[in-house]
Structure 1
Amino acid sequence: MTRIQSLLALCALPLAIYTGQALAEDMAQALQPQQTENGGSFITGGVGDEEMAQLKSTRADYNLHVLFTGKSGEFQSGVKVQIANTKGDVVLDTTTTGPYLYAKLPAGKYKINATLDDRTQSRSVQLAGRSGGDTHIVF
């Protein structure tokens, strides 16, 4: 290795460390649980293997699990999601940052409206305490 290559490698090391730390902080921030309108919580994400593994490790904390894909199975993000209770009150209103949305909601029946590129899909789910909904929405 030439002296210039060694010097460049030495200069690149702090940048690589900083970039890795910044990426880890961004990912941790993206996967922070958010509050729903009724005091429940939700999390969205799952872009990349590491984020997906981190998200899936929290699965047991949520009683609603929604996966968004295209018809060919490709993951979808940027899905506008509204979840309403039987009274029609919107209890969750967000846009996904990845193909997964996990929510912790009180037991009951809910309607999920998911919109991507002006196409809307609707699903009804019944949640019973800690168990309930595994839903796959295909666009």
Structure 2
Amino acid sequence: MQRALARAVLVLAACLASHAALAAPTPKQQNGISYVNGGVGEDEQSAMRAQRGDYNLLLTFATKQSGAYRSDVQLDIMDTKGNTLLSAANSGPMFYARLPAGTYRISAAAEGKVFKRSVRIGTALKEMTLHWENDSVDDPGLQE
């Protein structure tokens, strides 16, 4: 009886592990920048959070008043010269990137509203949330 119970637990654990692996968004690369995009649904959000240690820029897109996540954001990350290094349509609600140390310009657009932020990436993790209601689209300055 104990052997059958142990087998059932192992099968259940394997099923849960494979389900979590299926929920994990696939990392991608663009111009040498690794990134992962997703977080639609609880399973995918958990899978994204499990990967957060692999990235140094964590972006979350949401609607401020309702708290609803957004997954329809056009995201562009540019260098200080204005060259687009990464461009991703239908981003969100979570977007993680691994960038070399430096200063970058982030442009995130949805519903005709474009957020522009400057961010300095160093050794510390940088996390930002952009809200699409009652949040100023004006650049608040360099985000340290």
TM-score (normalizing by structure 1): 0.75
Identity of aligned residues (%): 35
Matching residue's letter, 1:41: S
Pick the structure with greater CA Rg: 1
Q: Name stretches of at least 5 consecutive residues in structure 2 with no aligned partner.
A: 1-17, 133-144
Query: 2:38, 2:93 within 8 Å by CA — same for their partners in 1?
Result: yes
Q: Deviations over 1:65-100 (max 9, x none)?
A: 001001212111110000001121111100245310
Change (3 A) 1:86 1:132: farther
Question: Number of matched residues?
Answer: 114
Aligned Cα RMSD in Å? 2.0
Q: Deviations over 1:16-67 (max 9, x none)?
A: xxxxx99x75x44xx1111122x02000111111110001000000000001
TM-score (normalizing by structure 2): 0.72
Residue equivalent to 1:48: 41
Query: 1:45, 1:96 within 8 Å by CA — same for their partners in 2?
Result: no
- Return the alpha-carbon distance in structure 2 between the equivalents of residues 133 and 58 of structure 1: 14
Q: Name stretches of at least 5 consecutive residues in structure 1 with no aligned partner.
A: 1-20
Residue equivalent to 2:30: 36
- Return the alpha-carbon distance in structure 2 between the equivalents of residues 61 and 96 of structure 1: 22
